[in-house]
Every structure is written in structure tokens, then in C-alpha cells.
Structure 1
């Protein structure tokens, strides 16, 4: 798989490997730091030219080194600059020490003040270079006090790499963290930039290329990306003149009793609009009249029990299923999943809840390799993977990866920062979903899109990632106030979004 470095996510451990490999290759670390600091200064001048003073807060690591370069560049541009330091500058080494010495050379003996002496002034812009993405402990009280003071004053913050106090791996505040207006990071985004609530702490994010070759980056990162079409569009089926409905797959969506068929209907319509050639709702006999009266393009068939499903599944064209939306009967759900264990399957809602008291039974059914996707929201994830969910040392990405590995299924861990993870460790974080998608029935639409892509023989991880991205784009196009029926009606294959982008 080729995927643009633009969408790579690099965790702090991988970033340390990249830095070390860059130095080992002969690259000058002070030159890289110079470019980083200059980029930060340029961002501050570009977005805050009216600043009365740039207050640069520097720690005793490489993040502080970037800050000293930024301070010198701002001073060279004629700005009023004050530098406040946290930590023992005697402990500085390497490139950070050189950057500090260059700053002292142009600023003189009064070039540094203690962070404890800093008080935000009217007209200040903060350049935050105290801690970088590798912070793994709560911020010290002195730093927390400054963070509070800056927050109360409403002073804009330009963060270097990551707002100080934010965990670069988990995207959570370590005791306290700056809420930056803008963040300038280098080489690639970090998980903390895209996971919630870190995404909100970072403000507007700029990724600056400081000159580390792509070969070094690619050699030292894992299979982790921000979700984008580059990740999966080459796997999608592209229609040609020889296509036909069976070639595009037959999707079966299970429905519950007559009083709760709405979820399955939205799932089925979404699957049909997302490109499945044929969609059939399989429902209890008593629900058939309701479904027949409310559906036209979607077919309906009665399936009341395991025997009826066995007969239906004997037809090899019936290869893809969605089970869960509005299903209701948890005992029957368990029986149906057992029968479909080797088929392409999307397990959602009641299909997940059915196994909350016997998760090992579900995982034992999924020992064979087959295309399958599970779509838990936060509560369902906690019920299905209680130990993983309770481990606060793990990021949401790591939790999804652990869940995918133990269940042998692709996991869509839903939320504002939906994570898609495969059993082999690949993972993507979705960032295009608007808050308006948090509405009843939205997940039923997502399940239908997943099912349609599986029916078209898209591999499970790529199908899940594409479905989540398309779901987000549809939500963005509809805007605030959308309801699930709007979303189901708006579903279109990816080609429609490509065409819209080309025509503007």
C-alpha cells in the first residue's frame, strides 16, 4: 500500500527513531532545528502581526531549542520578544544548547527570565516551547499555573509541535495543557493532533517539512494514518460498461419485528445508494407487510429462524450481511452470527449487544479469516472489550488495535475521532466527521455503507475506512440539523464525491 506521507501519523517513539536516523544519516540537527524555529516564527508573524510582545516559553529539551530559534527569528524581524525558561538551562545539550547560545548572543545577559516570572500582558502572543510530543507525566505545578493564567487571560498561543501538557500518543491533557490557537508540527502529524480532545487543544494545525527525507520517515513508522481517500480509493470498484447488479454484490440486511423496522430500512437504503447491486431485507414473517409497504428498490424476504437463514445462505450470491440495526432478538442474533461466521459480515448495534455477556463466544466464532466489521460506539466497546476499555494507559488507537486483534475483526470504534483498526495492526483516525452526525440512526447508515462496500469485494479494512470517511463527508455536505433520513438519502458512492470535487 502506498499512502502519502501527508497522512502519516507518527507517534512520539517513532519520531525519536526518525530523529536518530536523520542524525545518523549525516543530517545536521541544528539545521533541522533552525528550520523548525524559523517556521514557528513565520507562523506567528503571519497570523499575529499586531502582537505587542511575543512571549516565548522554552523548556530544557529540543522543543525549547526550537523556541530559542523562533525567539531569535522574531527579534531579527524587529519584534518585541521576551523569553521565559523552565528547567535548568545548564542541562541543555546538542542542538538545543547551540540554539540557546545563539539566542543569548543576540539578546545579552537579560535574554532569559524564569517561567515563574511570566505574567500574560495585554497584546501578548505566546510561543509555547516548554514540552514536546514526548511528554508522559503530568505537568509540574509551575507550568500548570502558567497554563491557567494564559487561559484566564485569553492570550493566543502558538504551540511548537504540540501544546505543552498534551500527550502526543493519547491526545489527553496530562494534568493541564495549553489550548493553542495554532500549532506548528514537523515531519508529520502525531496521534495527539487528531485524537480527541487533543484535536481541540491544537487549534489550527500546520505541518512543516524541515527536510528529513521521506525514506527515513517511511522506514521508521508503523501502519498508522489519518483517514483519507489515499488510503483506500484504489480498492474501490469502478463501474464499467460491463458491470451488472450481481457483479456489484448482493447485500442482506436483517430487520427486527414490525414495530422497529426503521433502522434496517435506513441501513438497506444506504447500502443500495452506496453501490451494492441488490439489497434484500431479511425479516420475520410478521414484519413483511410493513416492509413491503415502505420499500420499492429494496427487496424483502421472510427469514424467521436459523433453518430459513441456512437455506438463504446456501445461495453463494448471498455473501454479505449486516446484522444489528433494530434487530431486537438477542438470542436469535447469536444464532445467526454463528451461522454466518465465515461470511462477509457487518455487526452493529444489537448484533454487538447480543454478545455482551459472552464475548469469548463471539471471538471463538471469528477465528476463521473472513471479511467482517464491527462498529461499536463507546458504550458498546466497553461492554465488548471491558479490560481494554478500562486501561487508561492506552490511546483510543491502541484500544481499537487491541480489540481488532483479539476479535479477529476490523473495528470501527465510533466517536468524534472514530478509529478504524485491523487485526494486523493497521489503523486510521477519522477527522472529517461533523458533530451533527451525533444523531439517532446515523450509525445505521454507516453500517449500510460498510455492507455495500464489502458486497463489492472491497477488503474489510479499506471498506471500513472508506465508509467512515464517506459518512463524514455526507454529514458535512448536509450541515447542521441533519437527521438520519437525510443522511440515508444523501449516500452516494465515492465517485460522486470525486466528480463534485473536480467540478467545484
Structure 2
């Protein structure tokens, strides 16, 4: 995938086309699009039997021209138009250039082709897929042919990646100008296959998008004069009730914060639980307290750059009180896991407290946690941004299609992911990474973006069978690679 960081919505892509058509003939642009697709197809696929499935609109016009260029080069190509052919002005011009009605088939057997080119809808789908097309799409998916989608696999919604009933599952998607959200969000990303970004010289409207790829920000360099105190301290509140789960979660977050580059990571631990943690961390990394009132006093007296709360904590009145307290403190917060169940207990009060905060707050819910508090409409970008605005917080909405949303309306989409990250403790490692980066004085969005990238890279590099402790060991290797490319 070409890593242009700007992602265009359907509306912005249409605007880029309209702006381009003020300066260039729209049919010339269609020819350019078809030519770039033709060049890719003929570079990588030779001596193949090819079927181009065309829709009635301009995406179908692209397909007609691709078929023409293939035919002109004596390629074995056929064209199939199940919804009728060439119902727009430019697609009619394309059909006139084709000048070979013998290429157009009334019936086809998909099993007969090596390559099927999907040029039915592109980014223009705005209605449910008709039943006859659903059957056709299933037949394409069940065929042995390699499938190449033009712009967007037909049946996938451009802005959400959603699929109503069925969509064409492409091996390769050739898209124009900029990536679209549907290439990066589930389930659309699973239908897009390998994405190739093709330049057809459309008008640049990058300044108008609020959606971006999550490209990692620069890593702060460590100076020879740095010491553990100058590199920042991350703090974590360990749970008091579920001591087994609390210990594992807090330790994972603590070690992850250190691996991120923080100089120190300290745990607030109830004195009664000291012995459970003692074999695993140095005593100087424990901040012990007798009761909750003492914890409040210690927090207020301590200069805290970064505090992680939620990993392995119990759902009870004591922790509800604790969350209300820390939300009132001028401390950068990473809120994870059980926090969302706590917020649910007194939703309006907690959201009101969040809305008044003037320092960094980062929430890291997975889908189930997100839905406890925020509305899910199956439009992940829209939902994430609404939640970020409502909570006055950066939302890192986890998943294989992680979206990071900001209160000011920017969304960052993760194009790198690994399903193997779905394992116990993985989220605690991510929270620790964010907390460690905040301790090093990264801006909130930069900390969320970089932590997400590091976490994803660890999952990709480790693959099958990984557990949370493996991620901790892999973080330095990912950081070394990031340093090397800066």
C-alpha cells in the first residue's frame, strides 16, 4: 500500500473530481484512470483470460476502457454488464471507443476466467445491492479467478466499510488519488485485499480532509545527558480487590510504560497488597497507601505527568469515588478497561466531569466497552468522533481497524493490525505505552498514534501464539526500526 497519509470521504473525492473537471475534460480523466489500471494489470498479469464486469455508471466506463485497452493489445478479454451498459455521458463515449460488440457477453461462466475485474460501482454505491447482483457477487467470490476491484470492491460502502448483504471480495483494489475509509475499516478492508493507489492527477484537496492514516510521529531522541528522572515517570493505580487480575494488568502496563522509553513507572498499591507485587517490581517503584484518603493526598502532592487507571480494577463504589477524584485533578490520564463500566454507573456525572477537563484524557475502549457509553451506528469514524467530542477526550477505539478520534474532529485510521493482538493483557500493554509516552511529554494525539503503531507492529512481527509478555519483549525491536528510519 502506498502510504499517502490523506484519506478522502466519498463527498471529498467527488469534490476533487468536480474541481478537476473545471480544468480538464472529464472523459480525459476517465481515460487516464483506465490507462493506469491497464498498465498495472498488464505489468503483473500476462496471458490470462480476463472478464471485466461493468456497471452502468462511470466506474463501468472505466471498465469499458480497460477492456478496450486490453483488446487493443490482443489480450483475451470479455465484457459483461448485468445492469445494462453505458448510462452516463462519459461511459457512452467509452463504449463508442470500444468499437467491438463481440466483447460484450450476455451470459458468462465465471469459472472460465483467470482474472475478473470488478467495475460495477466503485465509490459510488449509495443504496442496497439488488438481489440479482447479490447472486452475481457470490458467484464471483466462489470462482477460482483472481479479482481486481476498480476503486472500491462493489458492495462496500465508501465511508464506513460496511457491507449490506454481500460484496465482491477482491484480491487487489486499484484506487485513485487517495485512500477511502472503506479500504481501511472493517469489514471493507477484508474485501479490498491488497490496495494499490494510482495517481490520475486529480485536484489536491488534502487540506480539506479530517481523516488520515495513522503514520507514526517522530520519536524523541534520547540525549547523553538524560537520566531516569528526566525521561519522565508514568504512574498506574493498581486494583485492590481482584488481586490476581489487578497484579497482572498493572505489571503489564508498568513494564510497557518503561519499554516505551519512560525513565520510571510507579504503581500506587494498597499496603495490604504489597507482598503480592514485591517479587515482581523494585520497592522504589511502589507508592504505598493505607486507605483511599491517603491515596488522594499522595496524588495531590505528587507531580504526575501521566496516570493510567482502569487496568484490572474492580467495579465498586470505592473505585467510582476514585475515578471522580482523578478526573478533577490536572493530570494527563489514560483510562482503560473497567473505567467504562465505572462511567456507566453514573454516566451523566462522569461525562460532565470529562467535558470540563483541560488536560489530556485518552480513552481506549474496545467495541464492547465503547458501546457501554457511546452510540454505535456502524460508522466507526463518525461514532468515534462523536464520542471524542462528547467526552472531550482522545478516543482510541480499538480493533483490527483502530480509529483514533480527537475532540477537534480529526480521525486517524490504523492500516496495520494483527488479529493475534486479541489476547489477555494486550490492552494493558497498549495503555502502558500511551502512559509512558505521555510521561515523556508527547502530545496526546502523538502518544496515541505512536503507541497504536508500536502495538500493531509488535503484533504483526510476533504473529500466531503471542501473549502479552511477548509484546513487552518486542517493543524495543520496533522502536529500533523506527529510530533507524527517522
Q: TM-score range by the shorter chain?
A: over 0.9
Deviation, structure 1 residue 39: 2.0
SS at match of 2:20: helix
Deviations for 1:187-227, whole angstroms, at most 9, x for unmatched residues?
Answer: 011101011111111111100011124xx2224x3221121
Deviations for 1:444-475, whole angstroms, at most 9, x for unmatched residues?
Answer: 00000010111112111121111111001112
1:176 equivalent in alignment to 2:171: no
Gaps of 5+ in 1: none
SS at match of 1:6: coil
Deviations for 1:308-332, whole angstroms, at most 9, x for unmatched residues?
Answer: 2332223352231000111225323
1:249 equivalent in alignment to 2:232: yes
TM-score normalized with structure 2 length = 0.93
Deviation, structure 1 residue 111: 4.4
CA distance in 1, matches of 2:290, 2:137: 60
1:228 equivalent in alignment to 2:215: yes
Please list, as runs of the form range in 1=range in 2, the aligned pairs for 1:106-125 lying within 5 A after superposition: 107=100, 109-114=101-106, 117-125=107-115
Counterpart residue number, 1:163: 153
Given the alignment, which residue of 458, 482, 485 partners 1:474? 458
CA distance in 1, matches of 2:270, 2:477: 30
Moved more, 329-338 or 474-483: 329-338
1:381 equivalent in alignment to 2:370: yes
1:330–1:350 CA contact under 8 A, matched in 2:
no
1:251–1:279 CA contact under 8 A, matched in 2:
yes
SS at match of 1:354: helix
SS at match of 1:126: strand
Counterpart residue number, 1:27: 24
Moved more, 326-335 or 8-17: 326-335
SS at match of 2:345: coil
Counterpart residue number, 1:408: 392
1:60–1:130 CA contact under 8 A, matched in 2:
yes
SS at match of 2:412: strand
CA distance in 1, matches of 2:422, 2:45: 35
Counterpart residue number, 2:415: 431
CA distance in 2, matches of 1:451, 1:493: 19
Q: Alignment RMSD, CA only? A: 2.1
2:54–2:82 CA contact under 8 A, matched in 1:
yes
Counterpart residue number, 1:137: 127
Deviations for 1:360-380, whole angstroms, at most 9, x for unmatched residues?
Answer: 222111122210111111111
SS at match of 1:332: helix
SS at match of 2:78: strand
Deviations for 1:231-280, whole angstroms, at most 9, x for unmatched residues?
Answer: x22xx432223333333222111112343311101100100111112211
SS at match of 1:480: coil
CA distance in 1, matches of 2:197, 2:344: 42
1:5–1:188 CA contact under 8 A, matched in 2:
no
CA distance in 2, matches of 1:89, 1:278: 66
Q: Given the superposition, is the C-alpha separation of residues 298 and 492 from structure 1 closer, same or farther in structure 2, using an over 3 Å criterion?
A: farther
Please list, as runs of the form range in 1=range in 2, the aligned pairs for 1:251-330 lying within 5 A after superposition: 251-257=234-240, 258-260=243-245, 261-296=247-282, 299-303=285-289, 305-330=291-316
Deviation, structure 1 residue 62: 1.4
2:175–2:195 CA contact under 8 A, matched in 1:
yes
CA distance in 2, matches of 1:275, 1:56: 52
Please list, as runs of the form range in 1=range in 2, the aligned pairs for 1:461-500 lying within 5 A after superposition: 461-492=445-476, 495-499=479-483
Q: Given the superposition, is the C-alpha separation of residues 42 and 252 from structure 1 closer, same or farther in structure 2, using an over 3 Å criterion?
A: same
Moved more, 442-451 or 454-463: 454-463
Q: Given the superposition, is the C-alpha separation of residues 329 and 158 from structure 1 closer, same or farther in structure 2, using an over 3 Å criterion?
A: closer
Moved more, 328-337 or 343-352: 328-337
Counterpart residue number, 2:333: 345
CA distance in 1, matches of 2:430, 2:131: 44
Counterpart residue number, 1:83: 79
Moved more, 400-409 or 123-132: 123-132
Counterpart residue number, 2:195: 205
CA distance in 1, matches of 2:456, 2:92: 45
Given the alignment, which residue of 14, 17, 20 partners 2:15? 17
Deviations for 1:143-178, whole angstroms, at most 9, x for unmatched residues?
Answer: 212112222223221110011111111112232211
Counterpart residue number, 2:41: 44
1:250–1:276 CA contact under 8 A, matched in 2:
yes
